[in-house]
Amino acid sequence: MTRTTPTIGVTTSRRSGWRIFPLVALNVWLAGGRAVRWGTGRPADLDTIDGLIIGGGDDISAELYGGELRATARIDAARDALERRLAETAVDEGLPVLGICRGAQMLNVAMGGTLHQDAWSQYPQARHYKTILPRREIRTCPQTRLRQLLGGSAVRVNALHTQAVDRLGRGMKIAAEDTGGMVQAVEGTRDPFTVGVQWHPEHLFYQRRQRRLFSALVVAARARRDEAAGGDPQLARVDRRA
């Protein structure tokens, strides 16, 4: 029987996933999808889903991109390995992907990119925020999918990260920066939907623009599923009034 609601796999942390997953699932539901929680010790089969969200959590080990591991870093090696495999396979197979905070960084690392382990030391001019409230100002880059979704005016987002994108991975481009020049979003240079945002849009479900990220993912997931089933989908544009 064909699924009518797109299924979105959501990777989570063993430590904090219990409180983050319900928020992500709410956003996916509002967008017309159904979220299933993944993580280390849980089944994670890309053939059972239509789209993927790589969620937030601990820092990514520098060993994944040839850096030196900081003694103060809190990492989860098992999750690193799982998400790297999922990200690589999803992108290679054309599965729509949304990366959130750590997930955006993992998308970049999985594509061969690197990270700044201490973003604030690399961008001293960037204002240091650590809050779920939308206080950091960012701007989307021209000619990006993210600009189509969020518009070209300033967007205020939250910030909970310590790492940030350094060298871009293959097939990735910068999609947004903050006022200090720190990368705040990346995206794939080709279809389907591959977007990673440094902030946590799941906490900002009361903002229409932030909900468009989840809507775009679900639209792309539905189109891919219908195409695989032999239909003739048209990738619908996300209504910016939605």
Q: What are the two backbone dihedrals, phi and then psi, of residue 220, each rounded to the nearest 5 degrees?
A: -65, -40
State yes or no: is 101 an active-site residue.
yes
Residue 121 has pLDDT above 90, yes or no: no
- pLDDT score recorded for residue 236: 43
Q: What are the two backbone dihedrals, phi and then psi, of residue 35, each rounded to the nearest 5 degrees?
A: -95, 140
Distance (Å, whole) CA 219 – CA 239: 11
pLDDT confidence band for 72 (50 / 70 / 90): low
The pLDDT tens digits for 29-39 are 999 999 999 98
Catalytic residue among 101, 141, 187, 203: 101
Residue 75 has pLDDT above 90, yes or no: no
Structural domains in the chain plus CATH codes = 7-228 (3.40.50.880)
Catalytic residue among 83, 116, 161, 200: 200
Instruction: Give the chain's mean pLDDT.
Output: 90
- Looking at residue 128, its amino acid is H
- At 224, list the tokens: 């891919």
Catalytic residue among 83, 161, 202, 203: 202
Confidence (pTM) = 0.92
H or E segment at 177? strand 172-178
User: Helices H, strands E: what count in the chain?
Assistant: 6, 11
- pLDDT score recorded for residue 118: 87
- pLDDT score recorded for residue 3: 65
pLDDT confidence band for 113 (50 / 70 / 90): very high
pLDDT confidence band for 161 (50 / 70 / 90): confident
State yes or no: is 202 an active-site residue.
yes
The pLDDT tens digits for 224-241 are 999 888 754 444 444 444
H or E segment at 210? helix 208-228
Instruction: With beta carbons less than 8 A apart as the criterion, state whether 213 and 187 touch.
Output: no
- pLDDT score recorded for residue 124: 82
Determine the average pLDDT of the residues in 109-116: 97
Cis peptide before 124 (omega within 30 of 0): no
pLDDT confidence band for 5 (50 / 70 / 90): very high
pLDDT confidence band for 93 (50 / 70 / 90): very high
- pLDDT score recorded for residue 242: 45
pLDDT confidence band for 73 (50 / 70 / 90): low
Instruction: With beta carbons less than 8 A apart as the criterion, state whether 65 and 195 touch.
Output: no
- At 79, list the tokens: 């999750």
Distance (Å, whole) CA 219 – CA 3: 14
The pLDDT tens digits for 127-149 are 788 889 999 999 999 999 999 99
- Report the alpha-carbon angle 160-161-164, nearest 5: 150
State yes or no: is 128 an active-site residue.
no
Determine the average pLDDT of the residues in 83-104: 97
Residue 92 has pLDDT above 90, yes or no: yes
